[in-house]
A and B are shown apart, each in its own frame.
Chain A
Amino acid sequence: MDQVESVRDIHGNRNKVLRLRSGPVATGKENLSPRCAQDDGILNGDASGHSSAAKPGTETSPDVDVEEKLKEAFARGWSIIVWNDPVNLMDYVVFVFKTVLKMNEQDASRHMWEVHQKGKSVVGRETREKSELIVHRLRSFGLNATMEQA
């Protein structure tokens, strides 16, 4: 009974932690995974970042469309970079990429190897606010992450 009660204690406090953890990165579909899965352009030095096209079915004038595209390109003008360090374990880094950035195993491993071999990896490109949140999440797991304006 003690065991169960104490386990419940942990559960109770866990909720408090989880509330803070359930920001848009952890729960929303707006997390980095789709971008990370297709960010070869960023990794290869193509920092344009505006891969989005007009949404099918939306009727906008060409001017508005261009404006929207420009707005989005500038808004997502922050690269999130993870830097190498001597202590974090390779498997742990992959776990963090999967947990925080919602990467699949293959992408997470690819970015981990890039960090390991090249010293850093651009793991996403986002708005300033979102980049702040992601940098915090990555750091909360002990990774050395920064955000740089592209």
Chain B
Amino acid sequence: MICEQIDPGQWRLSFNQPEAEFLINVLARLGRHYQEDVSRMPPALRAYWEGAISRGGGTGKTDLTESQEVLAEARAELRGERLALVENWLREYELSEEREPWRVEITTAERDEFVAMLNDRRMLIAAELGVTEQDMEADLSRMTNEARRAGILEIDVLGHFILVMLGPQIYRP
């Protein structure tokens, strides 16, 4: 995958065929996930979309029910927005005549949204599998649980895509 800035605020992403197919597969899964009813999701995934707005660590005793509802509504809307975005990416791929490499031109805002969406997939896999710090540092070749190994590999590959799009971000004096 290559990410080039072609103009201020404008980016070109290029994917070779395996990368494009991987990405399309990820997006298709995400699309299906965004359409699922949150109340029917496993608890870990439900927690990702609903989650507690507070851990109750502060001193206040304010009732946060309303804030929790506001967040839940906003999260529901977000899934709808991301579904529309996924559909656009899939349509873009469907319509493309040239797929080796597959090129897409997007704005910075679109890139940021795309990155957040790919990160959704990473977080959802992690929530579903209960991925820990040890898992992320483990030697995948020695991991015997195939589903876990595949999940962590996908998290890693998507992480690589994200880093390619963002470039280095950490301040190093």
Nearest B residue (CB) for A141: B116
Answer whether residue A88 sits at the interface, using C-beta atoms and an 8 A cutoff.
yes
Give the CA-CA distance A77 to B61 in the complex, in Å.
12
Sample of 23 A–B contacts (CB below 8 Å): A3-B98, A5-B95, A6-B96, A7-B106, A10-B92, A11-B110, A13-B84, A14-B109, A14-B113, A78-B58, A86-B135, A92-B119, A92-B166, A95-B166, A98-B169, A105-B169, A106-B171, A128-B67, A132-B67, A132-B71, A141-B116, A146-B57, A149-B59
Nearest A residue (CB) for B121: A142
Answer whether residue A64 sits at the interface, using C-beta atoms and an 8 A cutoff.
no
Partner of A3, one of B56, B59, B74, B103: B103
Chain A 17-54: CB-based contact to B (< 8 A → 1; otherwise 0): 11011000000000000000000000000000000000
Give the CA-CA distance A53 to B85 in the complex, in Å.
45
Nearest B residue (CB) for A7: B105
Count contacts between A and B, CB distance < 8 Å. 158
Answer whether residue A147 sits at the interface, using C-beta atoms and an 8 A cutoff.
yes
Answer whether residue A135 sits at the interface, using C-beta atoms and an 8 A cutoff.
yes
- With a cutoff of 8 Å between Cβ atoms, the chain B residues found around residue A91 in the complex are 163, 166, 168-170
The 6 A-B pairs with the shortest beta carbon distances in the complex, nearest first, are A149-B60, A148-B58, A109-B171, A149-B58, A94-B169, A91-B169
Nearest A residue (CB) for B84: A13
Given contacts A11-B107, A92-B166, contact A146 B95 (CB under 8 A): no
- With a cutoff of 8 Å between Cβ atoms, the chain A residues found around residue B96 in the complex are 2-3, 6
Nearest B residue (CB) for A90: B170
Nearest CB on B from A144, distance (A): 8
Nearest CB on B from A131, distance (A): 8
In contact, B163 and A89 (Cβ under 8 angstroms): yes
Given contacts A139-B51, A149-B59, contact A10 B75 (CB under 8 A): no
In contact, A146 and B53 (Cβ under 8 angstroms): yes
Total chain B interface residues with beta-carbon distance under 8 A: 62
Give the CA-CA distance A28 to B159 in the complex, in Å.
31
Give the CA-CA distance A118 to B107 in the complex, in Å.
35
Partner of A2, one of B59, B74, B97, B173: B97
- With a cutoff of 8 Å between Cβ atoms, the chain A residues found around residue B162 in the complex are 89, 92
- With a cutoff of 8 Å between Cβ atoms, the chain A residues found around residue B159 in the complex are 89, 92
> Which among B22-30, B125-133, B142-150 touches the partner chain?
B125-133
Nearest CB on A from B111, distance (A): 10
Nearest B residue (CB) for A9: B88
Answer whether residue B112 sits at the interface, using C-beta atoms and an 8 A cutoff.
yes
